[in-house]
């Protein structure tokens, strides 16, 4: 009995020893839990909109914030991997995108913050932006890949009137090589032109990024363009028309290369003064006075070597019916006329020479006319506005 009891006591002791070991495991687990808790960051990252959100507004809806810590990293990208630029605030409490988001696009957001002990916390979200019912686009000049004269602005006309001009203007980025300050100016609510303070320098390369996709131009109306346009500034040609002397000096790089006898607007139809940019070229075109308010006064179906200077109908063009007016007196209805032949077949006449030596974006400056300076909005003629007014 005594031996049996001794065995039983050993067994109980063995069982008791197991219980003590179990207690030890509990203490270790407590230490591990405590260590895990101390390693967990106190920083809290919040992303709006929440994962799975749809029809998210392209502006103002995306926000990333951190409490009990500071943001250290925020990445926003679409399904193609294109990133959205943005900035973390100085205090690390928030991140905001630098621009609007594209419409009908899924975005993924990854954000990281650190607490005061340097421990990190991360949060992720994905959402899809709205698909707009009403949209607008912009038609622009000059064309992508073109070479243009030193007076050519980048001009964009919108298919809908814009009531949020700052947002739309911000969505258009222009860079140049060499660098020059380029500013935009609104003409009404559907046209936005960009130019430098003075005529472009020859050889300047201009790149325009139209990030209009998703920008809200007016309430409920969103842009749907995402396009890059590049053009190059060609040789410097500025032609100066003297309405009193009836001459046009064609200058390249400031040097006169040819002086051409011209006729400008007669009394009551004087040619605009000021700087006018060639915006279109036509080997032959029709000019009908009915289209510009001169009802029944003329209708010439074969005007040769015509180049548009204003939207209202001012051209520099060939003239085969002017007799001895060139260099002697003003006889036109406001255009600048150069001697030509009917059909424009003779490449040796002044009008043909000037047409062949001119490009879109070249400047024609008219002086000493009796008419006022042309309205800057009449054609691509913003050069007739001071730099201060242009920027304002």
What's the CA gap between 208 and 226, in Å, rounded?
A: 11
Cβ neighbours, 10 Å, residue 328 = 12
Tokens (6 digits) for 186: 């609104």
Catalytic (active site) residue 15? no
Q: Cβ distance 251 to 237 under 8 Å?
A: yes
Point out the catalytic residue in the list 100, 185, 333, 335: 335
CA dist 156 and 229 (Å) reads 12
Contact (Cβ atoms closer than 8 angstroms) between residue 149 and residue 309: no
Catalytic residue among 15, 317, 333, 368: 317
Residue 213 backbone dihedrals phi, psi, to 5 degrees? -60, 115
User: Which one, of 329, 323, 321, lies nearest residue 246 by Cα?
Assistant: 329
Q: How far apart are CA 35 and CA 319, in angstroms?
A: 93
CA separation for the pair 82, 100 (Å, rounded):
14
Q: Which of 125, 123, 116, 37 is nearest to 70 (CA)?
A: 116
CB 81 within 8 A of CB 155: no
CA distances from 326 to 146, 205, 226 (A): 33, 38, 49
Q: Cite the active site residues.
A: 317, 335
């Amino acid at each position: 009995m005594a031996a049996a009891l001794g065995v039983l006591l050993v067994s109980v002791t063995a069982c008791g020893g197991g219980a003590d070991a179990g207690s030890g495991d509990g203490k270790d687990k407590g230490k591990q839990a405590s260590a895990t808790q101390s390693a967990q960051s106190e920083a809290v990252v919040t992303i709006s909109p929440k994962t799975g959100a749809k029809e998210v507004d392209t502006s103002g809806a995306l926000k990333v914030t951190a409490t009990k810590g500071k943001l250290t990293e925020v990445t926003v990208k679409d399904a193609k991997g294109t990133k959205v630029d943005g900035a973390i605030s100085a205090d690390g409490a928030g991140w905001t995108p630098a621009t609007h988001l594209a419409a009908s696009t899924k975005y993924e957001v990854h954000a990281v913050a650190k607490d005061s002990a340097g421990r990190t916390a991360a949060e992720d979200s994905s959402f899809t932006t709205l698909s707009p019912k009403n949209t607008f686009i912009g038609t622009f000049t000059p064309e992508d890949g073109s070479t243009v004269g030193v007076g050519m602005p980048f001009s964009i006309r919108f298919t809908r009137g814009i009531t949020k001009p700052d947002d739309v203007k911000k969505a258009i980025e222009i860079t140049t090589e060499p660098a020059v300050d380029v500013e935009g100016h609104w003409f009404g609510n559907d046209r936005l032109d960009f130019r430098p303070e003075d005529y472009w320098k020859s050889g300047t390369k201009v790149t325009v990024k139209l990030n209009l996709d998703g920008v809200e131009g007016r309430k409920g109306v969103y842009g749907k363009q995402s396009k890059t346009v590049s053009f190059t500034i060609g040789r410097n040609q500025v032609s100066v028309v003297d309405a009193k002397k009836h001459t046009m000096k064609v200058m390249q790089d400031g040097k006169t290369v040819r002086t051409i006898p011209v006729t400008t607007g007669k009394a009551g139809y004087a040619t605009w003064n000021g700087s006018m940019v060639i915006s279109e070229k036509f080997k032959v075109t029709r000019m009908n006075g009915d289209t510009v308010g001169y009802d029944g006064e003329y209708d010439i179906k074969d005007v040769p070597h015509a180049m548009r200077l204003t939207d209202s109908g001012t051209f520099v063009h060939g003239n085969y019916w002017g007799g001895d007016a060139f260099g002697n007196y003003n006889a036109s209805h406001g255009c600048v006329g150069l001697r030509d032949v009917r059909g424009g077949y003779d490449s040796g006449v002044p009008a043909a020479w000037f047409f062949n030596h001119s490009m879109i974006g070249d400047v024609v400056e008219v002086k000493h006319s009796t008419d006022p300076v042309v309205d800057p909005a009449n054609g691509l003629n913003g050069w007739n506005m001071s730099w201060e007014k242009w920027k304002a």
